Chain A
Amino acid sequence: MTAFIIRRLMQSVVVVFVMSMVVFFGVYLVGDPVYLLVNPQMDQEDIEKAIRALGLDRPVWEQYLHFLLNALRGDLGTSFLFGEPALKIILQRMPATLELAFAALAMAVVLGLPLGLYAGLRPTSIASRSIMTASILGFSLPTFWVGIMLIMIFAVVLGWLPSTGRGETATFLGVTSSLFTLDGLAHILLPALNLALLKISLVIRLTRAGVREAIHQDYIKFARAKGLSNRRVIGVHLLKNILIPVVTVLGLEFGNLVAFSVVTESIFAWPGMGKLLIQSIQNLDRPVIVAYLVIIVLFFVVINLVVDILYSVLDPRVRLGEQGA
Chain B
Amino acid sequence: MSATGEAGTSAQPASAHRGAPVETPFRRFVAEFLESPVAAIALAVLVVIVALALLAPWIAPQNPYDLAQVDVMDNRLPPGSTSMMTGMVYLLGTDGAGRDLVSAMLYGLRISLAVGVASGLIAMAIGAVVGLVAAYVGGRVETLIMRVVDLQLSFPAILIALMLVAVLGKGVDKIIVALITVQWAYYARTVRSSALVERRKEYVEAARCLGLSHRRILFRHVLPNCLPPLIVVATVQTAHAIALEATLSFLGVGLPQTEPSLGLLISNGFEYVLSGKYWISTFPGLALLVTIMTINLVGDQLRDILNPRLKR
Report A's interface with B, CB cutoff 8 A.
15, 18-19, 23, 26-27, 30-31, 136-137, 139-145, 148-149, 151-152, 155-157, 163, 255-256, 259-260, 262-263, 266-267, 277-278, 280-282, 289, 293, 296-297, 300, 304
Contact = CB atoms under 8 A, between A and B. Distances in A.
Of A145, A151, A277, most B-chain CB atoms within 10 Å: A145
Contacts of A23: 163
Interface in B249-284: 250-253, 263, 266, 270, 273-274, 276, 278, 281-282
Nearest to A164: B274
B251 A149 contact: no
A148 B273 contact: yes
B154 interface: yes
A149 B274 CA distance: 11
B251 A266 contact: yes
Interface stretch (B58-66, B190-198, B287-295): B287-295
Interface of B: 151, 154-156, 158-159, 162-168, 239, 243, 246-247, 250-253, 263, 266, 270, 273-274, 276, 278, 281-282, 285, 288-289, 292-293, 296-297, 300
B251 A142 contact: no
Given A148-B281, A296-B159, 5 more contacts: A15-B154, A19-B151, A137-B293, A142-B285, A163-B274
Contacts, number: 106
10 contacts: A30-B168, A140-B289, A144-B263, A145-B246, A156-B278, A256-B156, A259-B159, A260-B156, A300-B155, A304-B154
B162 A277 contact: yes
Given A139-B296, A266-B251, A259 B163 contact: no
B180 to A, nearest CB: 16
A228 to B, nearest CB: 33
A157 B168 CA distance: 40
Contact of A281 (B156, B159, B253): B253
A142 B243 contact: yes
B175 to A, nearest CB: 13
B159 A263 contact: no
* Complex A-B, nearest 8 residue pairs according to Cβ-Cβ distance, in ascending order: A145-B285, A140-B293, A259-B156, A259-B159, A144-B250, A281-B166, A26-B167, A256-B156
B192 to A, nearest CB: 18
B274 A278 contact: no
